[in-house]
Structure 1
Amino acid sequence: MDFSFKKRSVKKLYLEYTVLFLFLALCIFGTYLITGHSFIWSKDALNQHLPLLAKYREAVINFFHHPGTLNFWSWQFGIGSDTFQVFSYYNIGDVFSYLALLFPAHKITRAYQFISIVRMYCVGLAFVYFAQHFKFRNTTILAGTTAYLVNSFLLYACVAQPFFTTPFILFPLIVVQIERILQGGSAWPLAGAFTWMLISNYYLAFILGIGSLIYLILRVTTKYRKTLSYLHALIKLAFATITSLLLSAIMWIPELIAVRHSTRLGAQFANGLKVYPLYYYLFLPKQLINGDQWSFMFWSALGIVSIGFIALVYVYIHAKKYPLITISLGLALLMLLIPAVGATFNGMMAASNRWTLLIYLPLSTAICLLVENAHCISHHSLKIISFATGIYVAILLLTFLFENENDIVIPLLFLLTSLLLLWLISFHRLTHPQLWLLSIIVLNAGFNAIYASFPYNGDFSTKMLSRGQYQRMMAMRYGGLDQGLDRTPSYRVSTISENQIIDVPTIDNDLTSGLHNIDSYYSLQNQYLGNFSTSLQNNQYQTNVPLRQVDDRTVLNNFLGVKYLFVQSNGENATKIPEGYLLDQSSQPIINYDSGQPSDIQDKKDFIPTQTNRYKTNNEFPLIYWQGSYISQKRYQKLSPTEKERALASGVVVNQEKVTKGMEQANLDNHVYQLRSNLISNRLNKVNPKHLKYTDSEEKYYIELPQLTNSTLRRKLRGSELHIEFSQIKFTPFSMKEQIKYEQQHLQQMATNPGSIVNYKYNQYRYWRYHILNGSPDISFKINVGSRFGTATINQPKQSTLSFFKQVKKTTLNIGYYNGGLPDKLSFQPTKLGTYRLKYQVVAEKLDNHYHKQVATIQQHRLRKLKFSPNKVQGTISTNKKGILTSSIPYSSGWHASVNGKTVKTVRTNQAFLGIPLSAGTHRITFNYQLPGFRTGIVISIIGLIWTILAAILSLIFNKNK
């Protein structure tokens, strides 16, 4: 197959595509409208894409009104973040984001959904542009376009991860422009495509860059090996690459710096996987044509129309004629089998096969080849296709029998119908064969799209927000209790862990209320903030979510300046309120008579209402404050996580200890008490936690605290927060054979009735099937610790959780703050059979007058007369001795400071935060933020622009003379 750059009449083709898209768009998006849903997913779209689009629109309009004003720091992205770091990943380079400027602010949800449709239209447009360079009929091109446009990846991405549609637009354009150069054409179009690629999103540019290089190598090897003018082609490719790198430097240089200082650095390669779980390989064949599925299995989201399988067989029958497609798809299959490939494409992190977005171009081209040549396929070839289809159908039926999921039935019907059509065409029973095949492909794609968005099909479509729900949720983010609160960044707010005020699975970011919530969920997070969270063993830490609610730990909430907590009374952990937070205001009570009520109610006044509560404290640390005593790094590292947390009120840890010369060391007698504990089984066995062999899922455990039976100690420890500090967590799952053996033993023990018998053969299969489908044995587990406040959980995610995977080797559980006496027993329950090796200690952190006096002292030493302006915060302070001005502002090399107009070097305090050394006296302090790498990026981009202009002039002169 050869590219041709000869002009052809394409107006009719694009008109036909537009009509086709209207039908497909109705199938993709129309079902949501019929069922009362929007195109807004209640996870990433709710947390990130839509509110960030609104924020970015606001920032762009502000820039138009105040040219030259670029605000690089936001106090609303968690506890504070670089705006460029966030916007560059989602918005700045996304040309479609700017369509939001056409809509008023109150119509932002409409803008977001309109942009989703436009993106998808451009995806199909890109494939039409690509395919028109071949000698294909219009119907053939439309058939391939339908397959390219409607697939599992895009059906998910267009409503859940919209910017993942952009590479579907870019890759066909890049391939065409590489081909143009290989045929001796201009390098300028490729330079433009590469520039767009580099500006749009660094992560997607990385995937597209590798994909482009693979295409170039394969194309030269299979087509131009002997005819290519290598020097000329290399010069043109180098020109396009260098020009695009120079022009886009303003984006990728700051982005690269941000990535290097993010929590993603140092992630475990491929989440520790050497091979995928067995279920992955079993169900991978089904993925190919299961176009309406959402369980992507490590993002291996193929899901094209059913005729795609037949197209694959067809091109492999004619492998010598189509070497590029057969080699690329064969290589892709091998790549899909190896986790290390997915991890490499994913920036050396989790084994995420998002790179499969590159596969759709050769797959759809294969479908075009089949449709174009359908009228001349030989009977011999059709017999081979039929035989291969029969084997494939048998595999799918075996998969169906094993998995018992009927989602493959309709794709199978379309597969067999497509094969039947090819036989009818072969026997000349159908006129206009391409039109018949286009019709079956469009029907298949339309059905997949409708089925994917119907509410009865699993849980994805039901997680789309209802129309108007986004605005309502944002208005009631805190149950209406945020009304009247000052929006200054000098304090922050939070919620309680697992306690959802808004009825969605998770809501992290708050970009709409104007308050400053410590919780944030973005792809790039400050590396130092991650270090702080892991140092204090914050059980809620994740790479994308470094703090969340800091596990409701009192001192951490105080340190981060959390003044208000919002809590839903009927939610999880509703009574797990940190010390010092008192009920301040409540929403109007609502009584649910059918749920959550006591069974013995005698009077209407005894019904328990549901309401949102706001708690307030006076113990929040100031945003910026002075500390006169310090803690050395060596001393700090010897402290337990709870002692480290408690030490935040006693002194400051500085990464450059030379600046603490002349300061006194902090007193760390902070009333953190270690308690003896015993692990007891309900079988009355004392268990060694260092070797807990968990073989029976019905066995229960308890952590006994024998010292707390002593009334004197109980009185002493009143008003303490109870923590369990795990210094070692190691889980070894049983082998499949051992797992099934112990489960069979449990059934035998449960068969206590006369005449009971255990069917070992049946249960052998039942357990084996269960473990295969769930990827067992694997490293995931949970450990639940129960108290009167609820359940605290250690969660080791599966390796298939990709971006949210973390290997839990140690952590600290906050059981809760006990105003009265501490409990003498806690429930303790693993969830997975296997061997646990645990080292832990139970500690009581007493939050008494000693702590409150330390907080009061810190509050007296706050930076006063705070003034916030874009990229800047100012204030004044008077001190009587040398110390450190510290803060809870995340540290970055972009922060610069001046004291009384003189520049001073910033230091990193308490692992992650901005600080400066300060001598005695009265000082006027200014902190100013500049985007790291921005000036360098501008200079290089200007050089690139000059280079481009000069190159364009020379090119024009050369072409004119030629």
Structure 2
Amino acid sequence: MKSIFSLKGALSILFLLASSFATHFYFLQSDSYFTVNADALHQMAVFQKFLAENFRNGNFMWSWNYGIGGDLFGEFGYYYSTSLFFWISVLFNFDTIFDTVQLKLGFSILKSFCSMFIMFILLKYLKRSYVASVVGALMYGGSIFFLKHSLLWDFMVDSMVWLPLMILGFERWLKEKKWGLFIAGLFFMLSTNFYFAFKSSVFLMIYAIFAFLGTKQDFTVKSILRFFIGWGKFYLLAFGLAAAAFIPSIYALFHTDRGGKVNDIPLTFAPEYYAGILEKTFNLDGTYSILGLPVALLFLYIAGYTFLNRREKSFLYMSLFMYFLYFVPFAHSFFNGLSEMQIRWVYLLVFSVSITSAFLIDRVAENKEKIMTSKAVIPFLVLIFGLFAPIYKDGAAFTAYEWLAFCLTVLCFIVLLLAGKLGKKAFYLLITAILAVNTFGTQAYFSKKSLGSFYGQDRIDSSVLSRPGLENKAELDMIRSIQTSDSGFYRIINDGNNYHNAPMYQDYHGAGTYSSLLNGKLQYFLKQHHNVLFDRDSINKFNHFNNRFYLESYMGIKYHIVPRNADAPIAGAKMINQNETLKVYENLYALPIAFMQTEYASKEDVEDLSFIDRDELLLQAVYTDKPVKVLDWEKYNVSDLNSERIDRPEQLIAENVEQNGDVWKVHENGTVTIPIEKRQDGQVLIEADLKSAQGNRFDMEVEGIRTQKVPVKDKYAYPAKGFVFNLSPSFNKDSVTIKLSPGEYQVSSIKIYHQKMDTERVKQLQKQSLTNIQYDKNKVSGEIKVTEDGMLTASIPYSRGWKTFVNGEEAETYTVNQVFAGTPLKKGTYKIEFVYTTPLLKESLMVSITALFITIFALFRSKRRKD
């Protein structure tokens, strides 16, 4: 490895460093920012700034600005919290969204260089030439897979850095039986991201199998066991070292609610998918391209195969196996954890092809005089007639990229035909130039046409980053005004933006988030148990409580920020502030974070209630996950709940809707109008139990309130049953009109309720609540005087990480009302403290410390043996 410190090595590394900037040239010279108005902005940019601020302040466990309160270390392990690159970024100051996305561009260049550099070292260790090592590294770290994911989901390319390090460590163990680097590579791979750790771990097994087949070993049971146990024990040791990062994240994963869908994975793709196999491999087949491999690879594979030795052929076979998996639907599901199909594993294919290309370049160059004419003609004809001719036949003009690929195909054909007459250096130079030009050309075209134009990176300017929910002065001024005048604990809903993670960025306790590892019980509570309506269903999002009186009171929603022309969002709210664009309403009936309830309801009673009645029950009684034996309290009579049906279904009027029993066929502009009995005050809510008969996407609107149901088979669909619409407090009609997009629907029921707002009950609970509330990072404390035995109910999402202390002594914490934390109290005066620790963090940290001691001992023992 001393060769990398030679002049050639230094020049190679400088070339890769320059290449990492060149691959980002489009973004460096762009007047736009390194983000797009999708997950990159709605999630990644916000998460990185939010987590960095919390971690700098010593808060690693919990934040009230995440959802209605959520775990930081475990639930963000999927994104950043365990990433080395993120922890390096914490050293930098990025106070605004502008700073954050600019920093991301710098880190994208850094990760690109690191992936190329480590890949280069790996190829040099495998005794590849400088030229082949540079080209292989460039193809890997400069792939469009890297560019696309670095822009859209930057955390996903961290594993592209650690994969070649892990393989380098494996090769070093295989050849020299030195295992320190292998442990390091495995540690970074396992600790950075559990999701990609799974993919890379599967690939390690595949790599090991082909490595075993490529070495001259006896294929006996003993040799197989010795080989796999030999490196497997180091994998287990590295897993132990990474436990503190890996296990809390896995715990969070297993406590999400992904809807319980069964994914229908076909055995094969449609025939037309395979008909475009060359286009999917070598061309940029539209905006969703993910491979875009250089056309020269087909020439190299065909021309160089016979020149490879047994071990080198194992790399080629491995790359062909990974390529085969690319066209197998089940592989896309398997690498995604046996879930829906995703292409995020393709970096493994890119790695396999890149490492193989380095061997092929060297062997073809060394044997150029032996290349038969047919080995140049066959790939040339395949590409001309299989890739370019169909484009010409369809009458479509070649794109700039297709012209580039065509010219390089012709050039590669000529170079191979003349290979025997070219000097070795000239041949190396030409092949390298073809591959490099193809790689840079692919990057440039893909960046401009796909990432820039289609995904919209070229449309991100300061006005986008200053939209409501982000760096918006009007909103920020209003939020700071609320926080200055009210220093207590409460939650705010900002109705004026669609950024679910705005509370994280704008620094307030909100009621929503957009994240992949949502608390499963909370998601179930909102979307199935209470059927809160959102603009579209999703397994990853929530952002309000539908302005439903009892839900918002229970959750402590004290303030609403709304556009200036909007009505009061919730009945009884009082406007307290306004500026040129916004108004603030105060909910006088918001409850503190914890309050006493003295009656209980059974789970059976709750399940039989309508969604509307379940709302009110939250303030009338409590139901728990298990019997509370320490309390002798009364059972609440659910018949006392005050909702009443006010619809007159027999007078329903349908326009452009054909009704056949419970099947509705809705045509263009189809509406259904249902007369109701008018009531004073209170809320009017509609429970609609209907669905698309074919499981298709559809839109539904009730009195100006819209929602969209995504297709049942959509990977992000959440299987909630029906809808609940809460009409505006200003609604004063004698009928309700429902609009549906054209289609066929299965309609089980449509019920319209009037629900009185029991403000007196809220006032009672406000008097029986926690006072002198103090909260900081991962704890909440306060005092309470209990006049009647009951359950102290908190609007804190329950987790085994929460501990409750009553007068300094730990008390049992119950799951109450499906998802919240509570503890029983008898009559008396108490000091209460809720304290949170990321679940399994302490236990997994002990595992990591133990593994560290074992590693140190093993290294010391290994050194002593050598001495």
Give your verdict on TM over 0.5: yes
Shift of 1:137: 2.8
Partner of 1:644: 614
Which amino acid in 1 is paired with 2:605?
R
Q: Deviations over 1:241-260 (max 9, x none)?
A: 22212222222222222222
Counterparts of 1:99-110 in structure 2 under 5 Å? Answer: 99-106=88-95, 108-110=100-102
Residue 810 of structure 2, aligned match among 879, 903, 916: 903
Paired with 1:78 and 1:662, the residues of 2 have a C-alpha distance of 33
Which of residues 682, 687, 694 is equivalent to 1:724?
A: 687
User: Does 2:733 align with 1:822?
Assistant: yes
Q: Distance in 2 between matches of 1:246 and 1:114?
A: 32
Residue 703, structure 1, aligned to residue 702, structure 2? no
* Structure 2 Cα separation of the partners of residues 402 and 619 of structure 1: 67
Shift of 1:575: 5.5
2: distance between equivalents of 1:883 and 1:272? 50
How far the C-alpha of 1:442 sits from its partner, in A, is 2.5
Q: Secondary structure in 2 aligned to 1:484?
A: helix
Secondary structure, aligned partner of 1:937: helix
Within 2, Cα distance between the matches of 1:444 and 1:81? Answer: 46
Residue in 1 that maps onto 2:490: 491
Cα contact 1:621–1:858 (8 A) shared by 2: yes
Aligned mates of 1:39, 1:447 — CA distance in 2: 20
Which residue of structure 1 aligns with residue 551 of structure 2?
556
Map of 1:448 onto structure 2: 442
Residue in structure 1 matched with residue 624 of structure 2 by the alignment? 654
After TM superposition, the score normalised by the length of structure 1 is 0.81
TM-score where L is the length of structure 2? 0.89
Give 3-state SS (helix, strand or coil) of 1:37's partner.
coil
Shift of 1:626: 1.1
Which of 700, 717, 727 matches 1:805? 717
Contact 2:658 2:664 in 1 (8 A): no
1:361 aligns with 2:348: no
Q: How does 1:851-930 map to 2 (within 5 A)?
A: 851-930=758-837
Work out the CA distance in 1 between the residues paired with 2:858 and 2:72.
34
CA distance in 1, matches of 2:90, 2:505: 18
- Unpaired runs of 5+ residues, structure 2, are none
Decide whether aligned partners of structure 1 residues 434 and 552 sit closer, same or farther in structure 2, where only a CA change above 3 A counts. Answer: farther
- What is the aligned partner in structure 1 of residue 251 from structure 2? 257
Segments of structure 1 that go 5 or more residues without pairing to the other structure are 1-5, 64-69, 589-610, 733-778
Structure-to-structure mapping, 1:513-524, within 5 angstroms: 513-524=506-517
* Preserved CA contact (<8 Å) 1:313 1:385: yes
- The aligned amino acid for 1:81 is G
CA distance in 2, matches of 1:380, 1:427: 14
Match of 2:701 in 1: 785
Distance in 2 of aligned mates of 1:91 and 1:477: 30
Count of residues in correspondence between the two structures: 846
What is the CA–CA distance in structure 2 between the aligned matches of 1:797 and 1:583, rounded to whole Å? Answer: 41
Equivalent-residue separation in structure 2 for 1:816 and 1:703 (angstroms): 16
Does the 8 Å CA contact 2:490/2:593 hold for their aligned counterparts? yes
Tell me how far apart the structure 2 counterparts of residues 176 and 885 of structure 1 sit (CA, whole Å): 56
Does the alignment pair 1:16 with 2:15? Answer: no
1:261–1:918 CA distance, 2 compared to 1 (3 A)? same
Give me the whole-angstrom Cα distance separating, in 1, the residues matched to 2:190 and 2:723: 41
Q: CA deviation at 1:894?
A: 1.0
Query: What is the correspondence of 1:919-958 to structure 2 with a 5 Å cutoff?
Result: 919-958=826-865
CA offset at residue 551 of structure 1?
3.9
Separation (CA, whole Å) in 2 of partners of 1:537 and 1:837: 18
Partner SS state of residue 482, structure 1? helix
User: Relative to 1, partners in 2 of residues 1:278 and 1:690: Cα closer, same or farther, differing over 3 Å?
Assistant: farther
Kept after mapping to 2: 8 A contact 1:152/1:293: no
1:744 alignment counterpart: none
Measure, in 1, the Cα distance between the counterparts of 2:74 and 2:661.
43
The aligned counterpart of 1:762 is none
| Conservation of the 8 A alpha-carbon contact between 1:785 and 1:829 | yes
- The superposition leaves residues 827-852 of structure 1 with CA deviations (integer Å, 9 ceiling, x where unpaired) of 42235x5x43221323224244xx22
1:80 is aligned to 2:69? yes
**C-alpha displacement at 1:202, in angstroms?**
1.0
Q: Distance in 1 between matches of 2:404 and 2:717?
A: 33
Aligned in 2, Cα 1:490/1:455: closer, same or farther, shift over 3 Å? Answer: farther
- Deviation of the 1:89 alpha carbon: 2.8
**CA shift in 2, pair 1:481/1:138, >3 Å:** same
Pick closer, same or farther for the CA change 1:101–1:729 going to 2, 3 Å: closer
Letter in 2 for 1:810: K
Question: How far apart are the structure 2 equivalents of 1:729 and 1:568?
Answer: 32
CA RMSD of aligned residues (A): 3.3
Q: 1:326 and 1:348 mapped to 2: Cα distance?
A: 27
Q: Is the 8 A contact 1:100 1:112 kept in 2?
A: no
- What's the CA shift for 1:931? 2.2
Alignment of 1:455-494 (within 5 A): 458-462=453-457, 465-466=460-461, 470=465, 473-476=470-473, 478=475, 480-486=477-483, 490-494=489-493
CA distance in 2, matches of 1:520, 1:464: 25
Alpha-carbon separation, structure 2, partners of 1:302 and 1:276: 18
| 1:36-75 superposed matches below 5 A | 36-63=31-58, 71-75=60-64
- Does the 8 A contact of 1:651 with 1:666 survive in 2? no
Distance change in 2, residues 1:951/1:492 (3 Å) = same
Q: Distance in 2 between matches of 1:98 and 1:562?
A: 34
Partners in 1 of 2:765 and 2:270 — Cα distance? Answer: 53
2:230 aligned residue (212, 232, 236) = 236
* Letter matched to residue 647 of structure 2: L
Structure 2 residue 283 is matched with structure 1 residue 290: yes
CA deviation after TM superposition for structure 1 residue 543, in Å: 6.2
Write the distance in 2 (CA, Å) between the matches of 1:34 and 1:242: 46
Are residue 616 (structure 1) and residue 586 (structure 2) matched? yes
Q: Which residue of 2 aligns with 1:223?
A: 215
- Separation in 2, partners of 1:378, 1:518: 68
Residue identity in the other structure for 2:44: H
Please state how far the C-alpha of 1:351 moved relative to its aligned partner: 1.4
Partner of residue 669, structure 1? 641
Q: Does 1:120 align with 2:112?
A: yes
Give runs of aligned pairs for residues 133-144 of structure 1, distance below 5 A: 133-144=125-136
Quote the offset at 1:345 in angstroms.
Answer: 1.7
For residue 897 of structure 1, give the secondary structure of its aligned residue in structure 2: strand
Cα distance between partner residues in 2 of 1:949 and 1:916? 45
Q: Which amino acid aligns with 1:861?
A: Q
